[in-house]
Structure 1
Amino acid sequence: MNNLFRSLCVAGMLCTAGIADAQINWPAITQTNKPWTRWWWEGSAVNKADLTTVMQQYAKAGLGGLEIVPIYGVKGTEKQWLNFLSPEWMQMLDHTLGEGKRLNLGIDMANGTGWPFGGPWIHEDNAAKTINYKTYTLAEGQKLQEKIVFQQETLLRFAGQERVKIEEVKNPVYSNKNLQSLALDQIKYPGSFPATLVMAYSNDGQQINLTDKVSAAGDLNWTAPKGSWTVYALFQSLHGKMVERAAPGGEGYAMDHFSLKAIDHYLGKFDESFKGHDLSSLRAFFNDSYEVDDATGQASWTPDFLNEFQKRRGYDLRNYLPALFGKDKEELNSRVIYDYRLTINDLIYENYTKAWHTWSAQKGKLVRNQAHGSPANILDLYGAIDIPETEGTELLRFKVASSAGNVTGKQLISSESATWLDEHFVSTLGDVKQAVDNYFVGGINHVFYHGLNYSPAKAPFPGWLFYASVHFQPANPFWNDFSTLNNYIAHCQSFLQNSTPDNDVLLYYPFTDIISKTGGALLKHFDAIDKEFKGTGFKENAEIMSDHGYAFDYISDKQLMNVKNEGNELLTGKSKYKTIVLPNNKLIPLETWQQLMKLASQGATILVYKGLPEDVPGMEKLAERQTAYKQSIASLHFTNDGNLQKANLGNGQFVIGNDILKLLDYAHIRKETLAHDSLTYIRKKNENGGIYFIANKAASAYGGWINLATNASSAIIYHPMTEKAGIAKTKQNADGSLSVYVQMKKGESLLLQTASKTLTGKSYEYLKPAGESVVISGSWKLHFEEGGPVLPKDVVMQQLQSWTNLPGEEVKKFSGTASYTTSFAKPKGGAEKWLLDLGDVRDNAEVFLNGKKIATLIGPVFTVVVDASTLLQNNTLLIKVANTMANRVIDMEKNHENYKVFYNINFPARKPANKGADGLFTAENWSPLPSGLLSSVTLTPMTFIK
């Protein structure tokens, strides 16, 4: 074990003495292993006393760190607002950093308020721009009678409920003092704009720049010469995108993400504000996704774009405006739009992402970035920073961030977790666990909850809230049991963060094909593969490999250039791969192809799905590049081998086939058959062997042998929820791989550590029923311990049922924790273990037997194994159950108590059915949700499986 590992013996763990089983150690839990959370400062209305109070609560609950994101304010607290980056705001940051250091809470900080980057110091010159165009036709001898001007239509998009007319919004927008209440998402003032470029194109291929022939009034002083002419006029204007969910002092235009001048100006505000402050304990800066173009129109231009284009693409775009806008021959249109989009890609990569990273690194800070949504190759954007971060629910989407992290050797890959997991107030800790497990399977190892609001002690229930959150608040009844989930995640991440990927396949990311497509908007945006890559071989291959148990990562053209041969394997970052798959992409940059040829010649196997790329993209030196590509293709001599075609090249080969599974089989790529057993997994490795995280997503328990596509002699099972561990029951397969016997409840997960040597120590406990279940009968005392709006009176129950079914109204309104207490005689029989099954629980339970806590259970299955030695002749069972916030909120809604007191978007419904007449979320029509113990509690005798 490395020096991060230490022996950890806890209650229920299968070790007897402190160092008795040195081979079955849990890694030590670090600050980074623990889950972190987004931490919203609404209105930045924070104070030192409440900051200290809540941060102590967070640390006690097992959180590892906080990401500060100032957002819109709370109505009625305006006098407490602190303008973002003001001296007063910086004092609160200083205090937070100091308390974080004292409490061992890491602190990250968003490089802005809300999203995307922008603010009141972003004026027109540095704000996001768009390009518009108009065309005019002239015959020989004609002069244009129409003025060349662009009349911009008024646009006002609001996030909040307040509505005003454009005349009521001062121009410039950052001069308005009421931007919090206006909650503008986008604004375009009416007006006329002059052309920034005017070009004339003849039907016989001539181009003439007429920009200097247009007067300030828009009159074109030019008579068309011989031929038919089309005049193109470009008009640059403000895109008008505003910072969404902006905090006080952060309202304003979104910045121009393609301009180095703009990012330098934007970050200069931070430089100025940070002077004289000790930021040494700040870990990282953060960006909450691109999201500039979730608006009307696109941010598609920057003032120096034409010069940047010519410098990068080698020709003058002014001569190809018809092709840029899809009005020329299809092939030319495709090549020019590719070059335009590639230039945008380069600018956001260099002038924004890398420039921001350099600025942060100079301060000794990391960068966490959500690159998805960008009009660029997001694999490269993720690869250019320190911690890639994803969000959502789709496994193949997660893999964009994790792939970029894997192929560039990053230790941490994070996730914005549990965003809009369900409707407000109903998500449980068990729901969150299932979502987090899915992130782990997708390659994530650094969980950030979405999220937690700073809420002062005096704030009435349910406290200050964010509209798209599970509401990880101390006011939430699940808070007392929150540490159980956090401890589980910490144990998982202690393995996942201290291991490297063990994937075999690099799946080529066909960015070139997508940005060469004509039609539609100027820019393509990259996020979930269902959108951009629908109907492509890339999406098809990714889905098939995922479904059939093949471990793979995506790789970009830029990242491929850093891949090196190591014998027949491919080395990139800290990982080795066995093959590269080309997914029937039609176009490929010449440099990428030449790198593939080099890798193959030195020993790599390149698998080609259906066919080789047909051409190279773009315009620059096209004939030269096409010739080089065709000659290279011609040097490959393919022969038929059954359904495959093979071409040897040096020590390696290219193999073409129409069935990706047969291609992978030919290349001897490992396949994890447990993917067919309703189990999801991720395979990694550390210095001790292989690491598997496995989650049971089936609707029932799983018990049986699973075959691991890893050569090993033995394995340890670590159960991160119960903290039990032991040597697994295994058998060796003829091919050197290992089969492991596992038992997993519905929704349960475990970690496997394989080893090449035979391990010694305590065996993992496998149990099976040894008789019929016994119902714990008799009366139960129900006592409401904490919560509200009031504590109902104690009740004695003869039959367990939802406490909302009991007489009276107080039980129906109650959200909080209640305890159930009963006594029972020791069951007959000589079982060594008993399975205590709480049945249907709403929604999490803390279990005490004879005064000793034995488990906290968060579901979806509520069982715990009890040693027979802990049972007395007469026993006392105490079960504390917490429900959700929903029932108390339902009561508040029916009584018209207003807790939706937020500026900007306030509190929308997750689901349309829960949208009220005012457009906001409502639970007024809900019935109380079942709460407590809903069914019989049983004990089942258990025996060991030998």
Structure 2
Amino acid sequence: MMSKRSMKTCLLAAAAILALAEAPAFAAPLDDHFQQPPMEARPRLRWWWPGDAVTDEELRREIKLMADTGFAGAEIQSFTPNFVTLTPDEKLRVNQYAEPSFFAHVRTAADAARQAGLTLDYTLGSSWPSGGGFAITPELAFTELAMASTEVKGGEAGPIKLNIPKRTRRLGALSFLDARVKDPKVADWGKRMDARARTVAVVAVKGKAPVLQPSAPGAMGLTLTPWRDVVTAGTLDPSSSILLTDKMSDDGTLNWTPPPGDWQIFVFRQYASDVGVLGAAGQGPQLILDHMNPQAFATHAARVGDPLGKNPAGIRSTFVDSLELMQDIQWGPELLQQFRKRRGYDLTPYLPFVVQPGWMQAWAEHWSPPYFDTPNSDVAERVRADYRRTVSDMMIEGFIQPFVAWNHARGLKAKFQAHGGAFDTIRGYGLADIPETEDLPHEGDPFFMRMARSGAHLYGRPIVSAESLAWPNRPYEVTPDEMRRRIDALISGGVNSMILHGYNYRFHAEDWPGWHAFQPSPFAGGFSSMLNETNPVWPAMKPMAAYIGRLQAVMQAGEAVVPVAYFYGRYGYYIGIEDDGAGKQAAEKAFLAGGYDFDRINPDSIAHARIEGKQLVSQGGQRYPVLVLPPIDGIQAETAEAIARFAKAGLPIFFTDRAPSRDEGLAQARQRDARVKKAIAAALKAGAKVVPAAGLTDSLRAAAIPANLRFTGDAADLYFVQRRVDGRTATFVYNRGQADRQVTVTLPGAGGVTRWNAMDGTATPVSAQAGGQGTDVPLSLKAGESALLMLDPQTKAVTIPAAAIVGSVALPVEGWRLKANGHVQRKPYAHDFASVSLKDWAEVPELSRFAGTATYSRAISVDAGWLTMGTRVILDLGKVHDVATVTVNGQSLPTLFSAPFRVDVTKLVRAGKNDISVAIANVPQNAMIDPKDTIYKKLKPVAAGWVGPAKLEAQR
């Protein structure tokens, strides 16, 4: 029985969790917050620190700069400066990470943030995956299982010389190149790592080997994964499996004569993995901790987190990045025992079936057939499901839950990236107070973003965070316009709190552009984005922060409208995991094209859901009018039985193409299969339906499932999200394609419609018409354009006449004065040009390798007839690379960072002569090219400058 003290502790903990999960408190009307985003709605920055080589003075300055630029705070990510020459003193200071001086710097930054009204997130460890330092010893390091096979013919007399798997050589944490491993305190760590190696099993199974793709050469002799993709899976007869572990001698010979037939003999060997924490600062070796061992997490947190103390002022949360665990086979020393305990049978005879290349590789996850399958049965598939479920359970219990509990015990929120891990991804997101996704996978794929949003909705987390604006191999060329498009893609995927990747602490600034956490190296092209003052396009960050804040203010308000709960019973995620690598995302695309938004719902959420008013209500309070299942054969019996209860309670349920016919696991298969069949039959009897995938959304409409909207016209590549806020309906639509789209959007309900402009905070009525199914709104979106539409039932739909152009004057192409200030080939450059024309700077020899700000100026004339009442004067700059700030008669307008580069100058111009200047800033790329440098000579020139044509327009 629970004691009163324990009960009180549990109640206090529950209250704390609920407090952490509260939605942002927006006291003022949404309209006000759209114009002036509140702090929680503003974006944040990932703040790269060069270990502990920072100063209090600079930390305070950078916090002030972030506040002045419109950010809500930053996420401290301490990192080893890569490929820069460090002095001995700098090396020492970098590796003072997690030492008292480092935590003193964190407290300084947090105090400065608190005083500025900002908050910080703190990465719980240097770099990723989690681990490092003297705390994570070889005994606490994570392990992997390696496999080698030997093919023999029956009747061949033993002994047999077996292939023994070696530890895969990766990015060695105990590399002799790392001076930190020469510390006398770790002199025996290599031997202790080797001591953890052991043979787990020797298994002989009758069958044939797989046909594999040719092996790809490893970089520098390193292998990220030992598996080759499979052309044709091998076949094994599980009933023939024989355990021969005790018959193998130390020299790898097997004292065994196989019976008749073709045999595969497998040796499974456990190793402590030699891969280290990537780019980590700090003292000692950088071993990755065992993510299945809660003691390993506790030891790690004691080193990198406990010194923060409880309720540290100015710190909102601690953060764990995507796991990126490189293992041959996901493993833990206790996995076999835990598997038997949780699944009810011994995994050992079935170990060959768990190997499937690409499944949750640390990098480049993809689909491949498994190495081995079972002919004419689903035994292998069932074993893989049981294995993956066990891995998931052990990682959640060994790492994610302890991480969340550690934060709550210290008055902090837990922020976690659940992708890249071999576990229930949706539950991993949902367990965190702030689930965080990232935009590297497929350039901000909105469907991938929905995995984190699903976890947030199902588990009641109001904030959906994203590591944003990261492009591989483009460290210096990403434009603010591209960033705006990526922001729109993330919003259309359900993200409502962006962490821009990233702001680099000012380090080695004398060597322009200074240290960049992901600058190019001899091995890789680096990552964007270099977001600090040394980047010429930094002036775009303030209006961009305001743009993001306005969108996020809307997306954090009210409640999300998501009609479809779409079942996801897998572990891990990558595009193609559900359609055997095709990656068509057919169902997801069909839902949105049909006007239905969706969340993925996992078995854990189904187990904790309830039915109210014939709607599925998640434990986090999200309501779904329908449950849809993809075409699957296996499902947990408990999940099938819950679905049957839902159907009996009146929830509409649709099985796509076919209904599940068996349990997903192997243990007690006959009994559990019977439970599944009985439950599915009961669900169908209660009204659940099997419908063809091609007609799924038509079936939803026929069943009167309310849609978010309806598109008339070609809606390909249109993504949307929708929220209800104070009786109004906000719909964000983004054209992610390369072609313009003209459609009619039918919004639910009757009312007037305004288009909210996140660039300047204005709201403008748009033409709309009441229709039989809602309110019809004509919508034209150029490639990469978005629209935020607000339907208000308290107003009426109206027809708005299009603005008429009553005059247009082309600005001269020639004769502009130009003053340039920046860098050429990384060296300072300044020059005044007496007369230039509007053209790409590639055509101006002095500017072809320039990056910086160049200001064009001249006098122009405005017709007095244009300044009559009701006439607007618009300056259209034409093509701009990459940021423009317009000044008219000494008064500057807000910086333009995204096409179309048009600005209203009505209030600034006067009849007759007007002085105009246009300051153009470009990305650093062209100035970074150096034909004499082995790294920077690989960069390619990009368009730059003011190309035009420019014109003045009078509109009425």
Q: Into which bin does the TM-score normalised by the smaller protein fall?
A: 0.7 to 0.9
Q: Taking structure 1 as reference, are residues 436 and 658 closer, same or farther at Cα in structure 2, changes over 3 Å only?
A: closer
How far residue 938 of structure 1 moved from its aligned partner, in angstroms, is 0.7
1:839 to 1:5, Cα distance in 2 relative to 1, 3 A: farther
What's the counterpart of residue 123 of structure 1?
Answer: 137
Distance 2:200 2:320 in 1: 32
Q: CA separation in 2, counterparts of 1:534 and 1:229?
A: 28
User: 1:751 corresponds to which residue?
Assistant: 788
Give 1:106 shift. Answer: 1.9
Pick aligned residue for 1:305 from 310, 315, 335: 335
Counterpart check, 1:262 vs 2:308: no
751-760 or 840-849, larger mean C-alpha shift: 751-760
The question of 1:530 aligning with 2:576 is answered: yes
Q: 1:603·1:653 contact (CA, 8 Å) conserved in 2?
A: no
Find the aligned partners of 1:140 and 1:884 in 2 and give their Cα distance.
67
Shift in CA distance, 742/327, structure 1 to aligned 2, threshold 3 Å: closer
Conserved 8 A contact 1:746-1:860: no
Give the corresponding residue for 1:910. Answer: none
> Which residue of 158, 175, 178 corresponds with 2:181?
175
Q: Tell me, what secondary structure is at the counterpart of 1:100?
A: helix
Q: Residues 804 and 618 (structure 1 numbering): CA distance in 2 closer, same or farther, change over 3 Å?
A: closer
Are residue 478 (structure 1) and residue 537 (structure 2) matched?
yes
- Asked if the contact 1:6/1:26 (under 8 Å) is kept, the reply is no
Q: Which one of the candidate residues 455, 464, 486 is aligned to 1:413?
A: 464
Q: Taking every aligned residue pair, what percent have the same amino acid on both sides?
A: 24
User: In structure 2, how many angstroms separate the alpha carbons of the residues matched to 1:33 and 1:113?
Assistant: 27
How big is the shift at 1:320?
A: 4.7
- Contact kept in structure 2, 1:61 and 1:483, CA below 8 Å: yes
Name 1:552's counterpart in structure 2. Answer: 598
416, 426, 442: which is aligned to 1:369?
416
Confirm whether residue 713 of structure 1 aligns to residue 751 of structure 2. Answer: yes
AA aligned opposite 2:383:
V
Distance in 2 (alpha carbons) for counterparts of 1:585 and 1:804: 56
Counterpart of 1:195 in structure 2: which amino acid?
Answer: T
For 1:149 and 1:698, how far apart are their aligned partners in 2? 51
Query: For 1:767-801, what per-residue CA distance to the aligned partner results, in whole angstroms no more than 9, with x for missing partners?
Result: 23234444357742222356664443322336323
**Distance of aligned partners of 1:621 and 1:841 in 2 relative to their CA distance in 1, 3 Å threshold:** same
Q: C-alpha displacement at 1:889, in angstroms?
A: 1.6
- CA deviation string 1:856-907 (max 9, x = no partner): 21122111233368433322212111112123222xx2465xxxxxxxxxxx
1:155 alignment partner, SS class: coil
Given that 1:396 and 1:528 are in contact with CA atoms closer than 8 Å, whether structure 2 keeps it comes out as: no
Matched, 1:286 2:348: no
Q: Which amino acid aligns with 1:122?
A: I
2:286 aligned with 1:235, yes or no? Answer: no
Structure 1 residue 278, shift from structure 2 partner: 6.8
After TM superposition, the structure 1 = structure 2 runs for residues 397-408 of structure 1, keeping only pairs within 5 Å, are 397-408=448-459
- Cα deviation, 1:717-744, whole Å, max 9, x if unaligned, reads 3211022224444321123x11235676
TM-score by length of 1: 0.81
What is the SS of the residue equivalent to 1:846? strand
Letter in 1 for 2:296: A
Cα offset, 1:192, TM superposition: 11
Question: Residue 605 of structure 1: CA displacement?
Answer: 0.9
325-334 or 581-590: bigger deviation: 325-334
How many Å apart are 1:101 and its aligned residue? 1.2
The alpha carbon displacement at 1:323 in A equals 6.0
Taking the aligned partners of 2:911 and 2:552, their CA distance within structure 1 comes to 38
Cα distance in 1, alignment partners of residues 489 and 259 from structure 2: 65
Distance 2:922 2:701 in 1: 50
Could you say what secondary structure the match of 2:532 adopts? coil
Question: Do residues 89 (structure 1) and 98 (structure 2) align?
Answer: no
Deviation for aligned residue 1:26: 3.1
TM-score (norm: length of structure 2): 0.81
Which among 899, 905, 918 is matched to residue 866 of structure 1? 905
In structure 1, distance between residues paired with 2:912 and 2:260: 109
1:922 counterpart = 2:953: no
Q: Give runs of aligned pairs for residues 589-600 of structure 1, distance below 5 A.
A: 589-600=636-647
After TM superposition, the structure 1 = structure 2 runs for residues 293-442 of structure 1, keeping only pairs within 5 Å, are: 293=326, 297-318=327-348, 320-321=350-351, 326=372, 330-391=377-438, 392=440, 393=443, 394-420=445-471, 423-442=474-493
1:64 maps onto 2:72 in alignment: yes
Residue 506 of structure 1: which of 551, 554, 565 is its match? 565
Q: Which secondary structure does the structure 2 equivalent of 1:436 belong to?
A: helix
The yes-or-no answer on 1:108 pairing with 2:104 is no
Q: Which stretch has the larger CA shift, 462-471 or 333-342? A: 333-342
Letter paired with 2:313? S
The gaps in structure 1 that reach 5 residues or longer are 9-22, 180-185, 516-525, 637-646, 897-915
Taking a change above 3 Å as real, the CA distance of residues 251 and 65 of structure 1, as seen in their structure-2 partners, is: farther
The counterpart of 1:884, out of the listed 923, 941, 954, is 923
Aligned with residue 566 of structure 1, among 598, 605, 612: 612
Instruction: Give the residue type in structure 2 aligned to 1:4.
Output: F
Match of 1:124, SS state, is coil
2:37 counterpart residue number: 29
* Partner Cα separation in structure 2 for residue 849 and residue 228 of structure 1: 84
Q: 1:209 offset after TM fit, Å?
A: 7.7
CA distance in 2, matches of 1:251, 1:460: 30
Which of the numbers 571, 575, 578 marks the counterpart of 2:622? 575
C-alpha separation between the residues in 1 aligned to 2:944 and 2:614? 59
Matched, 1:939 2:952: yes
Count how many residue pairs are aligned between Structure 1 and Structure 2.
855
CA deviations on 1:622-677 (whole Å, 9 max, x unpaired) are 222122223334446xxxxxxxxxx451xx53343353233223223424317835
Q: What SS does the corresponding residue of 2:66 show, helix, strand or coil?
A: helix
Determine the C-alpha separation between the residues in 1 that align with 2:160 and 2:105: 58
Which residue, 582, 586, 609 being the options, matches 2:633? Answer: 586
Q: How far 1:324 sits from its partner (Å)?
A: 5.8
The change in CA–CA distance for 1:128 and 1:143 in structure 2 (over 3 A counts) is: farther
Distance in 2 (CA, whole Å) between partners of 1:938 and 1:480 is 24
The Cα shift of 1:492 comes to 0.8
User: Is structure 2 residue 612 aligned with structure 1 residue 612?
Assistant: no
Given the superposition, is the C-alpha separation of residues 498 and 382 from structure 1 closer, same or farther in structure 2, using an over 3 Å criterion? same
Letter in 2 for 1:79: D
Any idea what SS the aligned residue of 2:275 has? coil
Indicate if the aligned counterparts of 2:144 and 2:270 stay in contact, CA closer than 8 A.
yes
2:878 is aligned with what amino acid? G
Whole-Å separation in 2 of the counterparts to 1:589 and 1:149: 37
Q: Which ranges in structure 2 are unaligned for 5 or more consecutive residues?
A: 1-22, 207-236, 356-371, 519-526
Contact preservation (8 Å) 1:108, 1:286: yes
- Matches of 1:33 and 1:328, distance apart in 2: 53
Query: What secondary structure sits across from 1:266 in the alignment?
Result: helix
Structure 1 457/873 Cα, relative in aligned 2: closer, same or farther at 3 Å? farther
TM-superposed deviation, 1:343? 0.5
Distance 1:744 1:152 in 2: 56
Whole-angstrom CA distance in 2 between matches of 1:777 and 1:221: 87
User: 1:787-827, CA deviations, whole angstroms, 9 ceiling, x for partnerless residues?
Assistant: 664443322336323455446x3x34432112222222222
**Aligned partner letter, 1:289:** S
Partner Cα distance (1:138, 1:804) in 2? 66
Greater shift, 435-444 or 250-259, is seen at 250-259
Q: Which one-letter code corresponds to 1:606 in the other structure?
A: I
Match of 2:710 in 1: 672
State how far apart, in whole Å, the 1-side matches of 2:305 and 2:736 are. Answer: 48
Partner residue of 2:589 out of 543, 547, 566? 543
Distance 1:219-1:923 versus aligned 2 partners, 3 A rule: closer
Relative to structure 2, which stretch is displaced further, 477-486 or 626-635?
A: 626-635
Moved more, 338-347 or 328-337: 328-337
- Superposed CA offset, 1:86-130 (max 9, x none): 111111111111111122332111111221111132222211212
Q: In the TM superposition, what is the alpha-carbon distance from 1:437 to its structure 2 partner? A: 0.6
Q: SS of the counterpart of 1:108?
A: strand
Q: Deviations over 1:474-505 (max 9, x none)?
A: 10001123201111111111111123221111
